[in-house]
Amino acid sequence: MPLRIVFMGTPDFAVPTLVEAIGQGHEVVAAYTRAPKPAGRGMAERRSPVHETAERFGIPVFTPRSLKDAAAQADFAALDADAAVVVAYGLILPQAVLDAPREGCFNLHASLLPRWRGAAPINRAIMAGDAETGVMVMRMEAGLDTGPVAMAERVRIGADETAGELHDRLSRLGADLMARALSALSRGALATAPQAETGVTYAAKIDKAETRIDWTRPAAAVHDHIRGLSPFPGAWCEMTLAGRSERVKVLRSTRAAGAGAPGDLLDDRLTVACGEGAVRLVELQRAGGKPMRAEDFLRGAAISEGAVLG
């Protein structure tokens, strides 16, 4: 039996789940998303990916700045939903909102809970060197990603996989997982189990202060840092190009053979020494430029073996 659903989400990651819910035949009566923000050179207001997708399907869109006031909570309750589906929404749901749908609120989270509760689970899993991660559907409660889990899927993280690539894989996998959870919910067959009490970690939002590459760390940690921040916000280092220091983003790397003082350029293929071992830089981006492969970068950058990266 189709469910009456309120969808709550904001970024690209949430769009496949919204589309899957619509395709599954559920009645999506409203979409809640973050309010448009000024963006681009003209600072025109830009609507979120969920906002644009919902409007294409003729779904009413709500963009409250907060759900804490009584009026916003009354508007939500008036939608008379069976369930709310929440995917990277960005606002805290007060207890009155959590209690409004008949069957509850269900969140799709991109980690193997209780590991990496919080805002940046995909980035943090890669930055920590995790070998696997996954997606989970949980019934929401007041705590931060603490609710009981209904369904889960595990995936291996590739040795050179970036956060952007893993994001796209988990977005698609999560949409399928939520579709299966909603199907079970509609049949009255969705069971949940409490999260483990051990192994809890928190995925804090990425701070710009932690994006600079620290070449004194072991090569494995440097490589994980680079790919865990790619493509956004991007790990970076300083290079001397054409006689002046520039900040350059490193979007892709791989482990490499070699040793030297941290930051030393070891060859003409952008192999850089770390505290232990070395990494080879595979894709870079100069300020104001486009991402480019290392060989293309080197054609336009006067940098040679023996240089030191900051």
Q: Residues annotated in the binding site for (6S)-5,6,7,8-tetrahydrofolate, as ranges?
A: 111-114
Q: Give the annotated binding-site residues.
A: 111-114
Please, are residues 32 and 64 in contact by the beta-carbon 8 Å criterion? yes
Angle of CA points 164, 166, 172, to nearest 5°: 105
Closest by CA position to 112, among listed 22, 36, 177, 179: 177
Among residues 243, 215, 231, the alpha carbon closest in space to that of 285 is found at 231
Q: What are phi and psi of 293, to 5 degrees?
A: -65, 155
Q: Describe the crossing of helices 163-186 and 15-23 by its angle, rounded to 10 degrees.
A: 30
89 burial type by CB count under 10 A (0-12 exposed, 13-18 middle, 19+ buried): buried
Alpha helix ranges (H) inside the chain:
15-23, 49-56, 70-77, 95-99, 121-127, 163-186, 219-228, 294-299
Q: What angle do CA 172, 37, 83 make, to 5 degrees?
A: 45
The set of residues, in sequence order, having a beta carbon less than 8 Å from that of 158 and lying 6+ positions away, is 165
Handedness of CA 178, 180, 183, 184 (dihedral sign): negative
CA 140 to chain centre: 19
Q: Half-sphere exposure of 96 toward its Cβ, with a 13 Å CA cutoff?
A: 13
CB-based contacts of 159, cutoff 8 Å, min separation 6: 255
Q: Is the dihedral of CA 280, 275, 119, 290 positive or negative?
A: negative
Task: Kindly list the distances between the CA atom of residue 134 and the CA atoms of 104, 116, 276, 296, in Å, as whole numbers in the listed order.
Answer: 23, 11, 30, 35
